[in-house]
A and B are shown apart, each in its own frame.
Chain A
Amino acid sequence: GAGVSQSPRYKVAKRGQDVALRCDPISGHVSLFWYQQALGQGPEFLTYFQNEAQLDKSGLPSDRFFAERPEGSVSTLKIQRTQQEDSAVYLCASSLYGSGYGYTFGSGTRLTVV
């Protein structure tokens, strides 16, 4: 597609509920990143895929967070048993290949846990 598409744009979840956030990167982009942005803060790295391989998941805050990209294109970030501190904007970015080619960001999913 023309850009990085994320869905849903907004998600309200009750505490304890599981959520799944989707990222559809630019076609052909090898690298895909997930970032978490708390209100008033800069984004923080969560995880990174190169094609279907998850090369770095060091930023995932707990084992309740899980990400996958099974066919090397669309990626899903899943949060189990959501907690209030999970409330944030979740941003997806893709790159043709790594950091040397620049990034395209999606519009993000704003998750509110109540």
Chain B
Amino acid sequence: QQQVKQSPQSLIVQKGGISIINCAYENTAFDYFPWYQQFPGKGPALLIAIRPDVSEKKEGRFTISFNKSAKQFSLHIMDSQPGDSATYFCAASSPGGTSYGKLTFGQGTILTVHP
């Protein structure tokens, strides 16, 4: 079963526009929600992460919005640039005597930003 559901599967945005990717989770024990960015031919790399004690986290043009009651979180990319074109994965993990490395990933979103 897919514990983290991500949408849309693909997204096309014009340069300067806002890209929004959404994720929903089922496991209420999840308490760490990172986003990973993957360029073609490369492994994913951590972009930004949030914990449920805050509703929003912003790093430059990238913002995570978190809604604990709805069990949803989203990534917003402001002023999207062609260099942002990549695959984005949301993920989640829970504690339990271990670290946050054992992640459950969403299905991924292929973002294309047109010049």
Do A and B pair up? The answer is no
Which residues of B approach A to under 8 Å, CB–CB?
none
Interface residues of A (CB under 8 A from B): none
